[in-house]
Structure 1
């Protein structure tokens, strides 16, 4: 276990204490200090799907619909809606009094422009807009979506909770080319981004938005009233995790978004700290390059299943038993509405090195070098890569484990040659359905890094989004997952719960998988 290094942490921690004291003297007595998961570099949550940018989006923007704690879609900026008998025409009315942070009114035209921009970038947005014939505003408060083909989960897509989230922006900003970064951060969310106080690599500042109009219902998941009970929020980026832990334990920071797994026992033992987890959790992935031999052969990809013992991966990442899900064979998350075990029976026995060897041989593997991208961080991906490297070697594979930082890995995996396997993980809300799971795509060149290509899988995904009946959709889910076990877009190496830590003088903290700052009161 990594322990804090007080002699290294003290100067930085003292500096943060001084900043907090100065903020209080300046009239910001109710300031939340959070250690974010990373440094905020990109401000456009539509153009960039990174979680740190998504989290920034939730601070300053709002959505038309949102998921509550039970995963049910609820209206957010929308007041009411109706759908025609043939399920082709959807009409929406905005709530009265909605304003942008600059004081101008929110209009239906703003929402139409925002949806179009989101639909050009997001995996589920592209699915939805492929079915859209027309989307237009009829007046300042009302707009319609007319479908040219059947699409079942319309509201689920408009209330998509994670990257890319369909955040609403003023029309003049949403008119920005989807492939370009926006330059203006006016939003209708609960906070305002203080660009003049932003220090990249160090600090991000938000203040309460006086023009925000919350819903009247209590906060519930990402839905309900987003009541802001503090004046100011600061994200204080501390790249050294030991320094971050020391600052948090001393009370200089209020929230620690993603402490490393091996810090969990230390944090759990501190009575002044609480840990909150997203009930759905996260899922880890081993992603093969479908364009590179031997993984251009499905038997070689299937061999990877026999190299995975999920408990082994979770232990290597440092997760205590209480923060690991039992072995999960569901592509769309165990515990979700789309949980399925179809197609998983051949792999239920767990790791089988000899079976993996046999399948690799049948796939034509003859000792060629297999490049595994092995990052030094983040901790989960780094640990998973090392486990895979060791198990590949046990299966007789000639492994080239190429060490690099995460930024370099992201650049390398975007190239279609020169690598065979990388590891990543995703929050459950980005995985739980065929419509939102970007890595379930098998549309060849259009698929994310790894580029699986399978017409049948794409036909099943299209059938899933076209089906409006929940029972029929469940049947398609089973067929789709069974096909995924044949195609192997990726291998699930474990479902786990990455906690967010916060101090006990905070109340109203919501466990939603996103570090939202509304509803929190600091005593």
Structure 2
């Protein structure tokens, strides 16, 4: 039975504000079957290749498609294309399936895909290594292209099927020719939804309409593989920085779905009639913090280690989650429960050891250089970490300058390589999904190729050599040995500082059906009943 709770004035006011500027579309929206979703934050960065932010990735899955998909058994599956492999495993021939066209009506071609792969590979941690093993990519005709490898590797298929972050989304050639250092300004994909540019309100609202020309695959949907069957007319994403407002809106029926429910507000929904609360990604996520290796104080490995010794995972998880049913401490940079789990460095990253942290500050002659710590204030799953980190660093003796801002501003700030005194930063925290963190390529935090790496720009050539060894190996035991050595280097060099693992509950109206269970938030397959 559906809840009949009244709509609070706060909810009414917020929904009215969100609707301003889009009144001309109200008639269309009212007639359409619409799923209204409160997402973790507002969408501002529209190019899913220039950023690893989850909101941009989720936006990408709405309007773009990928050549290959990943199913719930971690198997690579055909999506836009099938493939054949030569006997020597050096030539892969990809054939686009029938019925693929861009949202502007033009057919998807092999040249579109080649340009998209090259743009993705120029900035992605997997793609960068992959391209060192590629001899060439060439179109055979409009629907076929081949990739010639210098040596056999599983990285080609794994890279094109990767879930997150920065999946290899396909775009029209004219758009994919944009350098990856420049954000695209036209959002044309071939995916199951179309982006409604006229209704976009940056940071507040994004609207997607069903793509009537999309031809799903015949196979059952599984994660990002199989048939992407859209059962509703529209999906509207809303950002509600006030979490209580989002809860009230779900209870009153003004929204249908909350992507992430703050743990302290779960009791308000767990027994709410007409509302379902569940963890859609059973593997969960891991939290961590990241140093800027380019500038003081964290250009010194001893000071990175001091910061890692200072912070208690338990304190972070208690602040973030509170309920131990949803979290666990973990030192593994590839995730506890994953095949490459390793506990090296647990004594540094799990308990706090302020005495050791202070000793390292003294050894490194720390001079009080401020630590510019980015603090997102509008994302419940990220707001507590910097507060706990700042307190721990100050207790150890660091001078901390915490900079509050919304999460999308943090996302844009992350790529700033200027000195902290000139708009840069020293430290930020975030989280990643465990489904894509179990190897040195899906795990964005591990790449350590200096200024070409992800935000923080660690330069550890030994890790890069090991990643290449991993790409060349097909032996599970050898790969586990390689990742154990990467774990040692990643902790000792402060490439990433794990903060533990947790599961994130979602909540949705019982009017929704077949809500997908996956490591990424997807809206195909989801149905909605009438009032």
With normalisation by structure 1, the TM-score equals 0.89
Alpha-carbon distance in 2 for matches of 1:367, 1:183: 42
Deviation at 1:363, TM superposition (A): 3.0
Alpha-carbon distance in 1 for matches of 2:210, 2:472: 41
Alpha-carbon distance in 2 for matches of 1:291, 1:174: 30
Does the aligned pair in 2 maintain the 1:374–1:401 contact within 8 Å?
no
Q: Could you tell me which residue of structure 2 aligns to residue 468 of structure 1?
A: 474
Alpha-carbon distance in 2 for matches of 1:230, 1:120: 36
Does the aligned pair in 2 maintain the 1:440–1:489 contact within 8 Å?
yes
Aligned partner (choices 31, 42, 61) of residue 27 of structure 1: 31
Q: Could you tell me which residue of structure 1 aligns to residue 231 of structure 2?
A: 229
Does the aligned pair in 2 maintain the 1:99–1:188 contact within 8 Å?
yes
Does the aligned pair in 1 maintain the 2:313–2:349 contact within 8 Å?
no
Q: Could you tell me which residue of structure 1 aligns to residue 402 of structure 2?
A: 402
Aligned partner (choices 499, 504, 507) of residue 501 of structure 1: 507
Q: Could you tell me which residue of structure 1 aligns to residue 139 of structure 2?
A: 137
Does the aligned pair in 2 maintain the 1:374–1:382 contact within 8 Å?
yes
Q: Could you tell me which residue of structure 1 aligns to residue 269 of structure 2?
A: 267
Does the aligned pair in 2 maintain the 1:5–1:242 contact within 8 Å?
no
Aligned partner (choices 277, 280, 292) of residue 280 of structure 2: 277
Does the aligned pair in 1 maintain the 2:314–2:350 contact within 8 Å?
no
SS of alignment partner, residue 381 of structure 1: coil
What are the within-5 Å matches in structure 2 for residues 79-478 of structure 1? Answer: 79=82, 81-274=83-276, 275-324=278-327, 326-341=328-343, 343-344=344-345, 346-347=347-348, 350-365=351-366, 369-395=370-396, 397-406=397-406, 409=410, 414=416, 415-418=418-421, 419-478=425-484
Deviation at 1:475, TM superposition (A): 1.8
Deviations 1:463-486 (A, max 9, x none): 222323333222211121122122
Alpha-carbon distance in 1 for matches of 2:126, 2:150: 17
Deviation at 1:6, TM superposition (A): 3.7
Does the aligned pair in 2 maintain the 1:117–1:178 contact within 8 Å?
yes
Does the aligned pair in 2 maintain the 1:372–1:421 contact within 8 Å?
yes
Alpha carbons of 1:408 and 1:503: their partners in 2 closer, same or farther (altered >3 Å)?
closer
Deviation at 1:117, TM superposition (A): 1.7
Does the aligned pair in 1 maintain the 2:35–2:234 contact within 8 Å?
yes
Bigger shift: residues 31-40 or 303-312: 303-312
Deviation at 1:489, TM superposition (A): 0.8
1:522 aligns with 2:528: yes
1:55 aligns with 2:58: yes
Alpha-carbon distance in 2 for matches of 1:262, 1:301: 32
Does the aligned pair in 2 maintain the 1:59–1:192 contact within 8 Å?
yes
Alpha-carbon distance in 2 for matches of 1:489, 1:421: 12
Deviation at 1:506, TM superposition (A): 1.1
Bigger shift: residues 138-147 or 45-54: 45-54
Deviation at 1:149, TM superposition (A): 4.2
Deviations 1:9-41 (A, max 9, x none): 34335788999x96588531x211111222222
Deviation at 1:429, TM superposition (A): 4.4
Deviations 1:185-209 (A, max 9, x none): 3322111222233333443222221
Alpha-carbon distance in 2 for matches of 1:288, 1:139: 46
RMSD: 2.9
Alpha-carbon distance in 1 for matches of 2:179, 2:198: 25
Alpha-carbon distance in 2 for matches of 1:444, 1:347: 24
With normalisation by structure 2, the TM-score equals 0.88
Alpha-carbon distance in 2 for matches of 1:12, 1:370: 36
SS of alignment partner, residue 393 of structure 1: helix
Deviations 1:334-391 (A, max 9, x none): 23343333x2354487222223223333333366654444443434433212212222
Does the aligned pair in 2 maintain the 1:287–1:490 contact within 8 Å?
yes
Alpha carbons of 1:163 and 1:392: their partners in 2 closer, same or farther (altered >3 Å)?
closer
Does the aligned pair in 1 maintain the 2:125–2:453 contact within 8 Å?
no
Bigger shift: residues 97-106 or 10-19: 10-19
Deviation at 1:410, TM superposition (A): 5.3
Does the aligned pair in 2 maintain the 1:153–1:468 contact within 8 Å?
no
Deviation at 1:214, TM superposition (A): 0.8
Alpha-carbon distance in 2 for matches of 1:312, 1:5: 36
Alpha-carbon distance in 1 for matches of 2:412, 2:80: 37
Q: Could you tell me which residue of structure 2 aligns to residue 74 of structure 1?
A: 77
Deviation at 1:394, TM superposition (A): 3.1
Alpha carbons of 1:385 and 1:157: their partners in 2 closer, same or farther (altered >3 Å)?
same
Alpha-carbon distance in 1 for matches of 2:7, 2:262: 15
Alpha-carbon distance in 1 for matches of 2:62, 2:109: 20
Bigger shift: residues 62-71 or 84-93: 84-93
Does the aligned pair in 1 maintain the 2:308–2:349 contact within 8 Å?
no
